[in-house]
Chain A
Amino acid sequence: MSATRVPPPLSPRARWTVRSIGAAAAVGMALTVWLGLWVTPPDQVQGNLVRLVYIHPGVAWVALYLAFGLAAVASLLYLWPRTRSLFWDRLAAAAVEVGVVFNVCTLVSGSIWGRPTWGVYWAWDARLTLTAILLVLFLGYIALRRLPADPEKRAKRSAFVCLFAAVDIPIDHFSVLWWRTLHQGATVLNPDLSPTIHGSMAWTLLISFLSLTLVFVWMLLVRYRIGVLEDWLGSGELDVALRQRQAEGSSAGTADGATGTDALGTGPREPVPSLVPTPSSPDPAGVVAAGHPAVPERAR
């Protein structure tokens, strides 16, 4: 029988890494909630509403810059011939999905903050509109990926869509500078002033950013693994079923699994990947390499 195309189970070290990141994220979030809701003082101007600053900017940063930014970079790396690898495509897809979730959190938390502050749940100023547009753009990305397609074509198409959508990220970022919007200007990343927020609030803000980043990283890793498994099942299961039918129907030994020809004899769809992660996969932690089949173009 052919070499089975198995996504190797995660090594114990990889599993431990993911788990500890998850644990750290949970602890960080609990700490953020405790600090945010109880320890830090209310603001002079906004009162208790300022406590939302430990949620809203953090999820916004993760969604727009970390998640979608990472997806854009990964898409670029996929398109660049020298670094082309389905690893980047899967990473981008994972980053986009998690980013969409955080984007929803951004809009929801912003909306809840907006109601008592500005009187409305929603306003059509530039920043909110652009953030909502980004959400729809990346939902389109996810929809596009659902279409059945050859993995490389899908990867290329998705990469382009991601890059086009990512053009709106800098526009969104500068929208508070370019137009009069309801949003205040940047406080932490303000190019003119030093951070205008002090004391325990500053620490809590930092912790909130770190915790939400850890949450993102954990979600990214799990979602990446899911992507690997889904892709394998999508292509592997059918081959197995076809091979079984052929083995039942004809005499033994007709299955050409070893050369990678699928049961219908239509030629190699994908070269048989090795069971061992290839050394070229760009993953220092070894966490994701376990799920990465052989880079297709190397065998082509």
Chain B
Amino acid sequence: MNYVIAGYSIVLGILFLYAAQLVWRRRRLTRAVDRVVAFHEDGARRTDGG
């Protein structure tokens, strides 16, 4: 039974950790994209207005 529990925990653990990593990556990238877009828009506003 120990083997069974070990098997379940390790596999589910791997899947869970990978899922968490995916969510974290997506969040980080979305924020980076938002920053780039915001900067872009700032630049547009500056050159248009200036």
Contact = CB atoms under 8 A, between A and B. Distances in A.
Interface string B1-29: 10111111011101100110011011001
Given A1-B48, A222-B22, A226-B22, A108 B10 contact: yes
A20 to B, nearest CB: 15
Interface residues on B, range: 20 to 34
If over half of A's interface residues share one DSSP class (helix, strand or loop), that class is named, otherwise mixed; here it is: helix
Contacts of A87: none
B47 to A, nearest CB: 5
B26 A225 contact: yes
Contacts of A226: 22, 25-26, 29
A37 B2 CA distance: 12
Contacts, number: 102
Interface in A33-92: 33, 36-37, 48-49, 51-52, 55-56, 59
Given A48-B1, A55-B7, A229-B26, A105 B37 contact: no
Contacts of A109: 7, 10-11
A165 to B, nearest CB: 21
Contact of B30 (A98, A113, A229): A229
A252 B47 contact: yes
Contacts of B12: 29, 33
Interface stretch (A131-139, A190-198, A237-245): A237-245
Contact of A232 (B1, B3, B22, B33): B33
Given A37-B8, A229-B29, A112 B3 contact: yes
Given A222-B26, A232-B33, A236-B36, A215 B7 contact: no
Nearest to A221: B22
Given A219-B19, A252-B47, A229 B33 contact: yes
Contacts of B6: 112
A116 B40 contact: no
Contacts of B32: 229, 233, 237
B22 A247 contact: no
- List 5 A-B pairs, minimum CB-CB distance, nearest first: A1-B44, A229-B29, A112-B7, A222-B22, A48-B1
15 contacts: A1-B48, A33-B12, A37-B5, A37-B8, A51-B4, A51-B8, A108-B7, A218-B19, A219-B22, A222-B23, A226-B25, A226-B29, A229-B30, A232-B33, A252-B47
Interface of B: 1, 3-8, 10-12, 14-15, 18-19, 22-23, 25-26, 29-30, 32-33, 36-37, 39-41, 43-44, 47-48, 50
